[in-house]
A and B are shown apart, each in its own frame.
Chain A
């Protein structure tokens, strides 16, 4: 187990190094001269040379990479060109909004998928299960982008029951000291603010959750149905448990493992989806910041955001591996 973990950590280090090289090279490929862009018209050749030396652009590409990497490791991601603020501060300020949205979406997906799976298992073989299969097929092939638009149209425009933009109503007085609004509102027992936050978050969260809920629903139903034929489940039925009790008390524990692994893996896709869904709902998270950064060609900011996303992805993958080892005792003693 320890050896496995160590190997995994080394592999993570290599992956992150690779990511940093890709980001560094990609940004250097941008057409146009950054020095000329920063100085603007009317600058002399001496000015340009001085700025080049200041930015380290007169050194070789390898030296430049090394300087950049050592800075990044120390948390110095540079300064945003369009917002004129420290990149790391900007990114960390927006990250909590995105994490809260992603976790709410995960909860939605688990609840919805679980409900579909259990209903489908209880009513297996009938038209209910066929209906659930059809729904899952449709949901799975519809990207979160389209779900977001669909929700805006139905709830925002036709039914007019929900505001369709932002993270929280702007006129509210916020007592928060951190950026984790949702968690802090619960901890401070300000449930009025929690309700306001959820009111803004449920649509983007649902848009992100629906494709994942279909995957969870389909896979969990399949595993539950397989488990329902096993002897110990038959024994539970013979003892007089109802079908619902059989599923929740007996079958679920054994059927859950593959679904958990899948959910953890797919969670990275869900986080990737926040970029566009946040844009759709004008939700003030990291994804929305990323699109602004690209539109303004703010390269230091783009670099920072991509690296932070990559670190999150790698950490989630590590968590999946560990989870897998915990759930599968054969690997623990490998």
Chain B
């Protein structure tokens, strides 16, 4: 998604509170899943197959969101799926951010051949369709959570590099950079102490965007069965199972969909709102 297209710059505090609230809930559940989940997410009870959620007749009180076609508790699987999603968002998001931002800072600040090399690699990288690239990589390095995280880092660092490079170039032309130079500050110190803090808001907003994207990529890969092993509960895996039993038990599909939707939406909205709050120009 293009930076210029982020939603309106008007400050809307409710956006920050709503998205922040959902993300707190998401990370809280992800962290506490083993203790707060009412059932073992892998326990199959074949006598309790496809129980509907609580507001429909025939529901059991012990399974508020119903059970899937193997009699596993949807709510518990959803909570454990949140752990996988949160792990991917944090590790893949931060590592991608670190790699991409460092390269972007170097390219934007030192220019010359450094910039030439980095920008050319970014061009090559961006001529792969991301989802296909992810699938290719996972095919090469094997399935599993680590592979998914590695694939996301290898593919998505360009998102940071492009934005950070452009922003660094803009900041490097400003008077304060020149002033730091005149005051005798070394090039590296100027980059770290003067330019980096001013590029940071942009990095932060791309980071939240990236965390949302990482969660979607993980969901897509587990949907096509290329992520964690099929036993472990993931939102994408639940969606794949729900897609199969869609006519018998739509709730198996819709709950992970809603969770995925709200989490991705909250990440983008939170990043947007955060940037509006801390970017002095927009404020």
Contacts and interface: CB of A to CB of B under 8 A. Distances in A.
Tier of interface size on chain B: 35 or more
Interface string B209-238: 000100010011001111000000000000
A309 interface: yes
B5 A219 contact: yes
B135 A152 contact: no
Interface residues of A, number: 61
Interface string A305-334: 110011001100100000000000000000
Contacts of A11: 123
B129 A275 contact: yes
Interface stretch (B60-68, B84-92, B253-261): B253-261
Contacts of B265: 138, 141-142
Contacts of A149: 239, 243, 253, 257
Nearest to A143: B216
Interface stretch (A27-35, A74-82, A167-175, A234-242): A27-35
Interface in A108-164: 133, 136-138, 140-143, 145-146, 149-150, 152-153, 156-158
B123 A26 contact: no
B140 A26 contact: yes
Contacts of A156: 246
A310 B140 contact: no
A145 B268 CA distance: 17
B267 to A, nearest CB: 8
Interface string A276-293: 100110000001001100
The CB with the most chain B CB atoms within 10 A, among A11, A136, A137, A265, is that of: A137
Contacts of B18: none
B131 interface: yes
B246 A153 contact: yes
A64 interface: no
Interface of B: 1-2, 4-5, 7-8, 120-121, 123-124, 126-133, 135-142, 212, 216, 219-220, 223-226, 239, 243, 246-247, 250, 253-254, 257, 260-261, 264-265, 268-269
Given A18-B121, A146-B260, 5 more contacts: A15-B124, A18-B124, A26-B140, A152-B243, A313-B127
